[in-house]
Amino acid sequence: MQDFILTLADLGNTNTGNIETIFAQANGFLGVRASGPVLEKNATPGSFVNGFYESNEIIYGENAYGYAKNHETMVKLFDLRTIEISLIDEMFSKLVQRELFLNMKTGILNENYVYATPSGKQIKISLESFTSHANRHVYAQKWNITALNFEGNIRVIKNAKHIAPAVDSEFDPRVREASTKLVFEKNKLTTVNSNLSLYFKFDEYNDEFELNKGQTQEFVQLYQLSRENLFLDIDYDDLKVQQEHIFQEFWDVSDIEIIGDDRLQKGIRLNLYHLFNSAGRDGKTNFAAKGLTGEGYEGHYFWDTEMYLLPFFIYTQPDIAKSLLSYRVNQLSIAKERAKELDFKGALYPWRGISGHETSAYYPAGTAQLHINGDISYAFQLYEKVTGDHEFIALARDVIYETARFWISYGFHSSRGFEIHEVTGPDEYTALVNNNYYTNKMAQNNLYYAYELAKRFDENEKESIFWQQAAKQMYFGYDNKRKITQQDDSFLSKEPWDFDETPLQNYPLLLHYHPMKIYKHQVLKQADTLLAHMLFAEDIEQMARDCDFYEPLTTHDSSLSRAVHGVIASRLGRDKQAYSFFSDSAIMDLADIQGNAAHGIHAANMGGSWLGLVYGFAGLHFTSEGELAFENHLPREIQAIKFKIKYKNEIKEVFFEQKGK
């Protein structure tokens, strides 16, 4: 049980912003940062509603045809945490003590604070709170306020404040400032440009009461936020019981035990906890790159969902997986419009955004990442394969057809095969290249899957022949001399990056070098070819050669990189390296390895840590006969692991001990 409790002592960085993120609570609809009840300097309190965004026109230094038109920014909403607490003539302004106990097992956060007045009167504030998973519109709090060393009249004002989005002064401040406008009307707020409404119902608290020394005053507060003006009667204790029950059900299937390493155990549980909390459940919202825990990446959804988060959900919480995939089904018409705007057939999903419209303002590292189409198709296919839910795929299959149509229209047949030019792969340190290996692999898979569905449903007969043909003839560059997979047509002819001459403070490179300097060198931000190898079991020797070549060129400047390298290392029997990558991935936010957890969790990496353990250490794979199989790659640093997966409605328990034991 103890290893389900997260305290401040577990954190690698106890800066205010970091605490707010790591202890943030969310339920897929609503997220609340865990800021202290008395506002601190550097605090960034606020709440978020999944998919609730404001849009603002993108201003380009130089515009061109087909560029994304609007920014979308998840709105930073009410501060539901700050209270004003005072005596008649003194404020409790000085923080004396802070304790947080996040019970990940139940999704309930307990906090204790001691604040003092300038003259030394101390008060204790205990807060129990949770974002309800039983009623996702509710954030529930129970307060206990105790006079520690005095008696007197205490005044408490607790009214949720609207918070303006923070201004990022480094990059395009004007655009961000413009996004703060909200129109309030009774219990409703509306965004100006995106014209989205949100209703709220708050129990405002504004009271004065007398406390004797040691006496405690208790009160409950319930905040409700909804896209509809419809609120149910709710009861704190009922919701709390339900919360515990729902979390129990979650952990029953999704938990991972890492025996013999408390730190990693806590890290992975924190990751799974946040994955469960921030995933959209309604088919209209998805999983933001930073979940519902912070403003980073403007609350946008990326390929992170399909390639880093969905495996976890597909294998352990298939209903959530289905919701996340439904989001893409609902976006299909917008994706078709986008392809048409760009003069291509089929559908092109946006690289980033919330509504389904492309919002990437730098297309070489945005729209050009066409692999998003293949990523989405891959996730549907994996969902079907693992859950056996053919009904859903029957309903959703247009997603697969339309993305396949896009590839046929965007690519072309040459004497070398079917080629796809002018794309950017996952590795954003190379852009606008031809025949990116990962992209071509994903497109190929997309086309085969579309062909298979067309066969199964006996439709698109003529077209599907072209899909099959393009998939069969897909071009993959290969260096015959060095026997290395080419990341793209030009990568191997680039100049090597001079790592020896790169000072440590110049990482991540993207903040210290112009894109031209980065793009023209052999240097990677993150796994690219190796990610494809992780998905499509590659011959082990080939994988080893590619890993030997690409790993030393990889900066891991992206938080999406380490987990994949970890899985590859496991498969190659490079246990020590696998352990190292996995460790970084498991405790990335717990230890604040990326240094910016204050902006929100690194959700994709959290999903990646599950991959590292399940795909990596436990070697989950499909045999050539299509059978699910495992393989023990447990590094010697870990005694044993234990977890469950759901496969075609059956729960399978997996337990691996140290090899040799």
Active site residues: 428
> Quick one: which of 253, 342, 640, 654 contacts its own copies (CB under 8 A)?
342
Provide the pairing of β-strand 30-32 with 25-26. Answer: antiparallel
DSSP label of 617? I
- Residue 154-193 contact track with its own copies, rule CB under 8 A, x = bound: ----------------xxx-xx------------------
Looking at residue 386, its amino acid is: V
3-state secondary structure of 574: coil
3-state secondary structure of 560: coil
The conformational region for residue 377 under phi > 0 = left, psi -120 to 50 = alpha, else beta, is alpha
Minimum CB separation of residue 338 from its own copies in Å reads 10
> Quick one: which of 421, 621, 642, 646 contacts its own copies (CB under 8 A)?
421
H and E: helices and strands count for the chain: 18, 28
3-state secondary structure of 424: coil
How many residues form the binding site for its own copies (CB under 8 A)?
Answer: 53
Minimum CB separation of residue 341 from its own copies in Å reads 8
Q: Which residues, 6+ apart, have CB-to-CB distance to 351 below 8 Å?
A: 302, 303, 358, 360, 366, 367, 369, 372
**Element holding 272 (H helix, E strand):** helix 262-278
> Quick one: which of 66, 214, 552, 573 contacts its own copies (CB under 8 A)?
66
Q: Which is nearer to its own copies, 345 or 642 (CB)?
A: 345
614 touches its own copies (CB under 8 A):
no
- Residue 3-42 contact track with its own copies, rule CB under 8 A, x = bound: ----------------------------------------
Minimum CB separation of residue 317 from its own copies in Å reads 33
Using the contact rule CB under 8 A, the part of the chain among 414-422, 444-452, 578-586, 595-603 near its own copies is 414-422
Q: Which is nearer to its own copies, 145 or 361 (CB)?
A: 361
Q: Packing angle between helix 332-341 and helix 390-410, nearest 10 degrees?
A: 10
Q: Which is nearer to its own copies, 327 or 519 (CB)?
A: 519
419 touches its own copies (CB under 8 A):
yes
412 touches its own copies (CB under 8 A):
yes
Minimum CB separation of residue 359 from its own copies in Å reads 9
Minimum CB separation of residue 173 from its own copies in Å reads 9
Minimum CB separation of residue 557 from its own copies in Å reads 13
3-state secondary structure of 226: strand
422 touches its own copies (CB under 8 A):
yes
- Binders of its own copies in range 357-386 (CB under 8 A): 360-364, 366-368
Q: Which is nearer to its own copies, 58 or 127 (CB)?
A: 58
Residue carrying the six token digits 């440590």 = 504
Residue 199's alpha-carbon distances to 51, 158, 171, 228, 288, in angstroms, are 14, 19, 32, 6, 22
Q: Read off the tokens for 308.
A: 């880093």
Q: How many CB atoms lie within 10 A of CB 334?
A: 17
The conformational region for residue 42 under phi > 0 = left, psi -120 to 50 = alpha, else beta, is left
347 touches its own copies (CB under 8 A):
no
Q: Which is nearer to its own copies, 45 or 366 (CB)?
A: 366
Provide the pairing of β-strand 495-496 with 521-522. Answer: parallel
62 touches its own copies (CB under 8 A):
yes
60 touches its own copies (CB under 8 A):
yes
Residue carrying the six token digits 């020797």 = 541
Residue carrying the six token digits 């609503």 = 30
Distance, CA of 348 to CA of 461 (rounded, Å): 22
Alpha helix stretches (DSSP H) within 365-510? 371-387, 390-410, 437-456, 461-472
- Residue 534-573 contact track with its own copies, rule CB under 8 A, x = bound: ----------------------------------------
> Quick one: which of 110, 330, 434, 596 contacts its own copies (CB under 8 A)?
434
417 HSE (CA, 13 A, CB side)? 15
Q: Which is nearer to its own copies, 279 or 348 (CB)?
A: 348
- The rounded radius of gyration (Å) of the Cα atoms in the chain is 26
CB 250 within 8 A of CB 223: no
Q: Which is nearer to its own copies, 139 or 475 (CB)?
A: 475
Minimum CB separation of residue 295 from its own copies in Å reads 16
Displacement of CA 532 from its chain's centroid (Å): 20
390 touches its own copies (CB under 8 A):
no
Using the contact rule CB under 8 A, the part of the chain among 152-160, 225-233, 515-523, 614-622 near its own copies is 515-523
- Binders of its own copies in range 483-512 (CB under 8 A): 489-490, 493-495, 510-512
71 touches its own copies (CB under 8 A):
yes
Minimum CB separation of residue 289 from its own copies in Å reads 15
Q: Which residues, 6+ apart, have CB-to-CB distance to 2 below 8 Å?
A: none
Residues at the contact surface with its own copies, assessed by CB under 8 A: 58-68, 71, 170-172, 174-175, 341-344, 360-364, 366-368, 412, 414, 416, 419, 421-422, 431-432, 434, 489-490, 493-495, 510-517, 519-520
